A and B are shown apart, each in its own frame.
Chain A
Amino acid sequence: MAEPIDLAEDRTKEVMTVNIGPHHPATHGVLRLVVDLEGEVVRDLRPVIGYVHTGIEKSCEDKSYWKVIPFVERMDYVSYFFQMEAYCGAVERLVGLEIPPRAKYLRTLFLELNRIHSHLVWLGTTALDLGAISMLWYCFRERDRILDLFEMATGQRMHTRYFQVGGVIEDIPLGFEAKCRSFVEDMPVRVGQYEALLDRNEVFLQRTKGVGIVSRERLLELGVTGPLLRAAGEPWDLRKTFDYLAYPELEFQVPVGTVGDNYDRYRVRVAEMVESARIVGQCLDALPEGPFIADDRKYVLPPRSELSTSMESLIHHFKLVTEGFRVDPGEVYYAIESPRGELGCFVLADGSSKPSRVHFRDPSFVNLQAFEDMALDSYVADMICSLGMLDPILGGVDR
């Protein structure tokens, strides 16, 4: 005989532990959340990660330097150009290789296209979480134009392996500039349309305004960087503060928020898309003539055409492809501003042709620590919204 149920008992104070994920569309990847709920209010929260850990950092130790590039691209699979830049930049600093101006601009151009792409994926999926399904189609429509551009220049839509140690693998093709310009002209208009759809949507505003606020002091303590930190009013952007690639020569603004709620996070990212489109346009305008890759034959493959005429080139080509280049012992930490924050790459060289350690300081991994602060004592539905606004890429978190 079961216990008689006391109908008068107040069950709203009962704490219930609920498991969300790891396979759940709202967790934006393979993230598991163990949540203690009191009614619908989150009282405790623990993210459990590691479901897509593939040991990339370990695998990199068994590959020569140039073969590591496609590996690291697959960590944060939405911002692959940034992973490449962090890694290639670190190796270039290790070997002391200066990249030619055209390569700097091309890299900047593709990084910023990638930033727009990443933010579009974020906007589409996060708006989807909040019930705005049409945003997903609109965002992915523009994202496809970026992928078309990537395909045109590199042959691949994702994981392009376009950046090389010393520059980029090949020059942009004929017709790329016109296509890219038309995209750059359209993008601010499209962003305006997104804003028209979301910014005056009462449901969206009520779901985001005043939700998930974390103070900027706390964010800094937790090591949070990128749009999350800027939304809280801290104008910290590595593109402005550190001197890398063509950023010092370009004119752009760093959008910042005021209170640091989910609405600010949305505003900051949307404004960043417009700024990135501006940067892409400036890169096209100012694209210098000249080589797109350094001509140091010890590190950079000789041009294909030389292989049939020059013995020297053939030898260099053979050495680079079979053994790869060797790097003198040393270690370098190189950080860039990825769409999610400070993406750092640490490379330790031991003198051989393979890196002794490749470590990525992935912004999603570090930012995820702020999730508890964002979601605690809010409703489950707001927790999902905060997670979307946090924008973690689990491939990058787990590596």
Chain B
Amino acid sequence: MPDAPGLELIRGEIERDHPGSVLATSFDREQPALVVDSEQILAVLAWLRDTPGQHYTFLSSLHVADYLPATPRFAVHYELLNRDRVERIRVKAMLADPAAEQGAPGTGVLPEIDSCVSLFPTANFQEREAFDFFGIVFVGHPDLTRILLPEDYVGWPQRRDFPIGGEPVTFTYNEHNYG
């Protein structure tokens, strides 16, 4: 892992090439993370992948976390791995919830971020999963459809404000007749 000073060096180098892209860094529980402006996510990921000396060529995992009630609310996490030096780094792209910002929750406006499938083909299924559960739109994804839930499903169930047990029961014959 890059240590805390190493992380600051990476931040400085990215900032030189892409000013304003890194918003913050964190080094929590021995795990380095770059908090990145979601507008410039592709530039940062490409920089980390292609710059000599960095070569974070392997995207281990892409997942989303919902930090409700904090703002910005969502973060797309990219767990990058350099397989030569065996180093991991996490890139977090913060995403605000546009529905909440417009003062009208539930308007169906979804947060958007650029898809990284062109850089990391492995992100295909994982971005679809993130879309499926959090309603985050990955712009430029080749086939952004629901992957695990049925395609006619309504709602984004992994969001923190989606209730557990909010699911209507489909088969109620026994409940009606013998319940």
Contacts and interface: CB of A to CB of B under 8 A. Distances in A.
Interface of A: 49-50, 53, 55, 57-59, 61-62, 93-94, 96, 220-224, 236, 241-242, 330-333, 335, 342, 344, 346, 348, 356-357, 359, 361, 365-366, 368-369, 398-399
Contacts of A369: 121-122, 124-125
Interface of B: 28-31, 57-61, 63, 65-67, 77, 79, 83, 86, 88, 90, 120-126, 129, 133, 146-150, 157-158, 160, 162, 164
Contacts of A330: 28-29
Contacts, number: 99
A53 B167 CA distance: 14
B121 A53 contact: no
Of B60, B61, B90, B150, the most chain A CB neighbours within 10 A belong to B61
Contacts of A59: 164
B148 A50 contact: yes
A221 B123 CA distance: 9
A399 B125 CA distance: 14
A96 B29 contact: yes
Contacts of B150: 50
B164 A365 contact: no
Nearest to A361: B61
Given A94-B29, A366-B126, A369-B122, A62 B90 contact: no
Given A53-B148, A357-B66, A368-B125, A333 B79 contact: yes
Contacts of B157: 55, 58
B77 A57 contact: no
Given A223-B60, A330-B29, A331-B28, A49 B147 contact: yes
B60 A399 contact: no
Contacts of A359: 61, 63, 65
A357 B86 contact: no
B122 A222 contact: yes
Contact of A344 (B30, B60, B65, B125): B60
B75 to A, nearest CB: 9
B85 to A, nearest CB: 10
Given A346-B63, A359-B65, A361-B63, 16 more contacts: A49-B148, A50-B146, A57-B158, A93-B29, A220-B58, A222-B122, A241-B83, A330-B29, A333-B60, A333-B61, A335-B79, A356-B65, A357-B65, A357-B66, A365-B126, A366-B122
Given A344-B60, A356-B65, A361 B79 contact: yes
A223 B59 contact: yes
Contact of A356 (B79, B86, B121, B160): B160
A348 B65 contact: yes
B122 A333 contact: no
A92 to B, nearest CB: 10
A88 B11 CA distance: 31
A223 B148 contact: no
Contact of B77 (A49, A346, A399): A346
A397 to B, nearest CB: 8
A232 to B, nearest CB: 14
Contacts of B126: 361, 365-366
A373 to B, nearest CB: 10
Contacts of A55: 157
Nearest to A59: B164
B122 A223 contact: yes
A398 B148 contact: yes
Of A49, A62, A359, the most chain B CB neighbours within 10 A belong to A359
Contacts of A57: 133, 158
Of A49, A221, A223, the most chain B CB neighbours within 10 A belong to A223
Nearest to A359: B63
Contacts of A398: 148
Nearest to B62: A361
B29 A223 contact: no
A3 B156 CA distance: 50
Nearest to B57: A220
A333 B65 CA distance: 12
B38 to A, nearest CB: 18
Contact of A335 (B60, B66, B148): B60
